[in-house]
Structure 1
Amino acid sequence: LPTFNRSFAFHYQFLKKNIPLKKEELDRKIKTIPAGVDTKIFKPAKSKPEELKILMIARMVPYKRYYDFIEALSELKKRKISFTASIRGDGPIEKKIRKLVKEKELEGKVKFLPKVPHNKMPNLMREHNVLVLPSYNEAIGMVVPEAMACGLATIVSDTCGATTYIDDGKNGMIFETFNTQQLADKIEKLSDKKLREKIGLQAVQTIRKKFDIRITTKQLEKQIIECL
């Protein structure tokens, strides 16, 4: 690998960290090109829900850390924070997640949504104002930039590749993976309607200016030409 003399185009800064090269070689040989979002499809709602409505969209597998999400919601309930949460996903641990929701007495707060086709996903996102992705070591999590394009305030773990899109505290929030108290703290901050709307607006502007699919496609085309 150290002997290559052409650029590699990687989608995520997250992956760049795992290439066994010195920083000078990384900066010279590897170009980071984030995955883009079609902002003509993923766009904000004309009006946002008044109440705190949290969404998690992910396969129900261990590394997605649904357990951490439910624990954080349980903590919010203890703090008497008003919220509702929606879960869209299926997979091998679904029964365990449903059981945990029941054990934490969150049935009145959390609902499990049926499968949604991808072309209906923007509508689902626009029905909420916060998206959480607590995954452990996820390459990206495209639901994050898509939700940002829809004007949602997003919260992601620090081992998720989607941190590429987030300037912590400005257009989204980042928390320490596995730290459910910190995740609850971040969500609680977004119970402030003005703050979450401000972050949501910044998120839309970020995606449109830097990560629209038409912009990232041109970047990739340029990199391919340079490699020829």
Structure 2
Amino acid sequence: MNVALFTINPNFIGAIRSELQKYHDVREYIHTSNESFNLLNIHTLMRWADVAFFDFCQYPLTVATYFVDKPCKIVARLMGLEIYRTNSIIWKKVDHLILLPSHKYRQIPDVKSHSFLPVGTDIRTFKPPIVKSFQKNICIVGNVLPRKRVYTTIQTLYPLLKRGWTLHIRDGQGNFRAELRQEYKAFIKELISTLQLEDQVHWHKWTSLPEYVKFLQSMDIIISNSMMEGYHKAIFDAMSCGVVPFVNCWLGATDLFPRKFIFYTQESLKRKILKWEKQSYNEKLALSNEVREFVKQFHDERKVAKQIRKIIEEVTC
């Protein structure tokens, strides 16, 4: 079977590509700055393919569904906040839509069929250190935007940071909403200065994947204090490294995480951290192993890729 892969963000498609290449002929769309060439490339690939898989429901899916003739079957994966921005797609031309578990609480586009799957993480790359130590390190990972509530998190953690804890903030890479991020980071840095937390709050930039893995391996706790998320993959990357997650009760969080890791107020977040702090080394290590095993069982990207391959194969039947 001929399968065409379409995405302008290749960060999440690696395992799917590898899985499909084991069984089918695969070609991948290459995006350029020439719009006319892109349109020709999209249509040519779709005419070659039996099935076109679109990762993210954005361009080029927005173009592909507007072709008068639909040359092949279409399977698409809707990620994160795209659930709010779906008006530019002709959904009746999508044969199967893959959504995140958290999307079941939103209005689902009117498609022929759909399923719910996690994104998954690479458990072979993201793995615990050989020897795990606990140094009271907390991290926040992802684009520093107002909906992530990093400012509020620092205020919440203030008493802990003043007695030995350290907070590490790792902003996302790329220029996604760069102006808003810079403004919000300026407010956060003002707060850090006002609270005199310069020695307790550290900023980190993206450098390389090996360095990122090493960073996560040195963390004890990762916090997602967001108002909403689709999947928040960084949390699962960290859990795969044995980092304990504490996650705000954004809509859909209970479908992704064990309930004991979800907090409903800022005060309950502090209580969960203090409870962890009081545990013995062996208890902390057992919890670290538990979150790693959870990801291996439910969020291994290779297992997800196999499920997506089967979906792609079934739409041609």
TM-score normalized by the length of structure 1: 0.82
What are the residue-to-residue correspondences of 1:192-211 with 2, within 5 Å?
192-194=278-280, 195-211=283-299
Match of 2:205 in 1: 114
CA distance in 2, matches of 1:215, 1:71: 39
1:8 pairs, out of 97, 104, 114, with 97
C-alpha spacing 1:96/1:140, structure 2 compared with 1 (3 Å): same
CA RMSD between the two structures? 2.8
Counterpart of 2:236 in 1: which secondary structure?
Answer: helix
Match of 2:125 in 1: 41
Q: Percent identity?
A: 22
Counterpart of 1:44 in 2: which secondary structure?
Answer: coil
Q: Deviations over 1:137-163 (max 9, x none)?
A: 121211011001000001111116565
Tell me if the contact between 2:263 and 2:269 (Cα under 8 Å) persists in the aligned partners.
yes
CA distance in 1, matches of 2:291, 2:239: 5
Q: Deviations over 1:79-105 (max 9, x none)?
A: x5x311111117321111111112223
CA distance in 2, matches of 1:125, 1:118: 11
Counterpart of 1:31 in 2: which secondary structure?
Answer: strand
Tell me if the contact between 2:102 and 2:256 (Cα under 8 Å) persists in the aligned partners.
no
C-alpha spacing 1:197/1:163, structure 2 compared with 1 (3 Å): farther
Asked if residue 73 in structure 1 is aligned to residue 157 in structure 2, the reply is yes
Match of 1:84 in 2: 166
Structure 2 unmatched runs, 5+: 1-89, 173-180
C-alpha spacing 1:124/1:20, structure 2 compared with 1 (3 Å): closer
Letter of the aligned partner of 1:83 in structure 2? W
- The alignment of Structure 1 onto Structure 2 pairs a total of residues equal to 216
Structure 1 unmatched runs, 5+: 22-27
Q: Deviations over 1:117-136 (max 9, x none)?
A: 33421111001111111111
CA distance in 1, matches of 2:97, 2:198: 48
Tell me if the contact between 2:222 and 2:245 (Cα under 8 Å) persists in the aligned partners.
yes
Letter of the aligned partner of 2:120 in structure 1? G
Match of 1:218 in 2: 306
CA distance in 2, matches of 1:143, 1:162: 14
C-alpha spacing 1:59/1:6, structure 2 compared with 1 (3 Å): closer
Asked if residue 97 in structure 1 is aligned to residue 188 in structure 2, the reply is yes
CA distance in 1, matches of 2:92, 2:169: 46
User: Deviation of residue 165 (structure 1)?
Assistant: 3.4
Tell me if the contact between 2:118 and 2:231 (Cα under 8 Å) persists in the aligned partners.
no
Match of 1:124 in 2: 215
CA distance in 1, matches of 2:205, 2:91: 47
Counterpart of 2:130 in 1: which secondary structure?
Answer: coil
User: Deviation of residue 77 (structure 1)?
Assistant: 4.5
Stretch of structure 1 that moved more, 208-217 or 86-95: 86-95
Stretch of structure 1 that moved more, 35-44 or 157-166: 157-166
Letter of the aligned partner of 1:108 in structure 2? D
- Report the structure number with the largest CA radius of gyration: 2
Tell me if the contact between 2:138 and 2:167 (Cα under 8 Å) persists in the aligned partners.
yes
Match of 1:152 in 2: 243
